[in-house]
Amino acid sequence: MALISPISSPNGKTFNQKLFSRIRVAIESDVPHIYKLMQQLFVYHNITHLLKSNESSIASGIFNPKFPNLSPVTTLLIEVSAIPFQSCLNDKTSSKEVDLSMPLIDEESEQFRVVKYDQHDVFIAGYVMFYPCFSSFFENPVFHMENFFIRECYRRKGFGKWLFSTMASEAARMGFSSIDWYASDWNESGLDFYKHMGATISDDFRVLSLDGKALEAFEDDSN
């Protein structure tokens, strides 16, 4: 339910009129936020029973791999604030401002507050996570998009398109041949979004996996 012109909300941060935002590369201190976003992503897809990672494994998986030589994982975050960003953490940033037709309330703002900024409130609105990999289909390697998620209150503001485009632009400029990913069949708005971005949806590929006890059964396999 949209409220008319609230100044603030006891349940979180309220943005009036304008939302300033930027995209930056995640660093290790962002992992607690990334894992919360990941949990929301799995809830959204109704696949929480498949989430067997944890905050620590995500941290080591992205920033300190226990397994050598894995393709590096890149996570791009969207940060939002009520006032313009003064500085950039690094060169891989871009910024954008969004005019709000009505106030936007982020009821979970405290969970997604970026703690390193003490001058003004900055919150994480969404993320995309991807890594480069070999492909037998193409001449050059491809990106595999592992996660893509915009928090509910920040949807329909163009953030998804901006974040996806930033990743796709990086892939195209670096000479990668494709981006591939999975999406849920029932997620019509998601599939429509991806089609609008130019994606091809395979008609007949199924996704298979072997894990848990079924994989462990091969540990002592004598072939």
Catalytic residues: 194
* Nearest-approach distance from CB 203 to a second copy, in angstroms: 8
3-state SS assignment for residue 56: helix
* Nearest-approach distance from CB 90 to a second copy, in angstroms: 16
* Nearest-approach distance from CB 101 to a second copy, in angstroms: 22
Indicate the residue type of 76.
Answer: L
**Considering Cα of 61, then 158, then 110, then 90, what sign does the dihedral take?**
positive
Question: What is the Cα–Cα distance from 53 to 58, expressed in whole angstroms?
Answer: 7
Question: Closest CB to a second copy among 116 and 161?
Answer: 161
Question: Closest CB to a second copy among 10 and 68?
Answer: 68
* Nearest-approach distance from CB 99 to a second copy, in angstroms: 17
Question: What is the Cα–Cα distance from 22 to 36, expressed in whole angstroms?
Answer: 19
Question: What is the Cα–Cα distance from 147 to 165, expressed in whole angstroms?
Answer: 14
Question: Closest CB to a second copy among 118 and 204?
Answer: 204
Question: Closest CB to a second copy among 16 and 71?
Answer: 71
Q: Give the count of beta carbons closer than 10 Å to the beta carbon of residue 74.
A: 18
**Considering Cα of 191, then 195, then 199, then 202, what sign does the dihedral take?**
positive
